[in-house]
Amino acid sequence: MGLDLTTLIADWSWLAEVPPRERLPRLRDAWYDDATGLWDREAPGTDGGWEWPRGPHSVHFGVYEFPGTLGSFKPHFWAGEGWEKVREHADPAARVELDALLGGLIWDGPDFDDEESEDRAFFSHDRMLVACSPERVRELLATWERVRSRLDELRAPFEEYAAQPMGWIRDFDAFVRLLTDWGGVLAEAARRGWGVVGVSG
């Protein structure tokens, strides 16, 4: 699992102005633009957070750096692995909600369908790790809002079955922090009516 993850929120209507195979390059060109993009400055620090481009691109996308992850996909992968170990010990209603949330973002899950989703087809690109249309963002945000008040029910089973002394997701609090960050990404995207894009290196 040597993948990295760049997580963006983006204006789907702006991306839809070009054919599917050109949408990810359009986004990449914007965030690497020498004059108004992001990467002519220092990368976000380990504290993470939002980075916004300057100039005309500022109205089309933003990049979120998950705190403490150094841009790696590993914490997200291990959060999914932790959930795999805990889900059978969770209340069925909470299990359904977390399956939907994690399955929509970072986890392949037991019912993973290997066929390309409609959201991934929007980009028609194999470097997508996450692709959520604005509609899907709203659905996942509603799921997050329902499940977040029930997360503490999972503390005991997580600590029993999934906690590790070493690694990216060592305990339940690390699991919840990552989910909460995803909730923030979904909320900001929903506020703007945008989608979410997760791209590997």
Q: Is 113 helix (H, G, I), strand (E, B) or coil?
A: coil
Contact at 8 Å (CB) between 128 and 25? no
Contact at 8 Å (CB) between 192 and 9? yes
Angle subtended by helix axes 92-105 and 74-86, to nearest 10: 160
Return the pLDDT at 36: 61
Asked whether the CA dihedral 93, 176, 191, 14 is positive or negative, the reply is negative
In angstroms, the CA 199 to CA 76 distance is 13
Rounding to the nearest 10 degrees, give the CA dihedral for residues 172, 149, 129, 35.
Answer: -100
Full pLDDT tens readout for the chain, 201 residues: 458 999 999 999 999 999 999 999 999 888 887 666 565 445 444 467 999 988 788 899 999 999 999 899 999 999 999 999 999 999 999 999 999 999 999 998 766 554 557 888 899 877 788 999 999 999 999 999 999 999 999 999 999 999 988 889 999 999 999 999 999 999 999 999 999 999 986
- For residue 145, tell me if it sits in a domain: yes
Range of the domain at 188: 6-199
Maximum distance among all alpha carbons in the chain?
52
- For residue 26, tell me if it sits in a domain: yes
Number of domains in the chain: 1
In angstroms, the CA 3 to CA 129 distance is 10
User: What is the edge-to-edge ordering of all strands in the sheet holding 61-65?
Assistant: 49-51, 61-65, 6-10, 195-199, 128-132
In angstroms, the CA 11 to CA 195 distance is 6
Return the pLDDT at 58: 83
In angstroms, the CA 109 to CA 83 distance is 9
pTM of the model: 0.91
Q: Percentage helix, strand, coil, to 5, in the chain? A: 55, 10, 35
- For residue 1, tell me if it sits in a domain: no
- For residue 97, tell me if it sits in a domain: yes
Q: Is 180 helix (H, G, I), strand (E, B) or coil?
A: helix
- For residue 177, tell me if it sits in a domain: yes
Return the pLDDT at 26: 92
What are the CA-CA distances from residue 45 to residues 19, 51, 78, 150 (Å)?
A: 34, 11, 22, 31
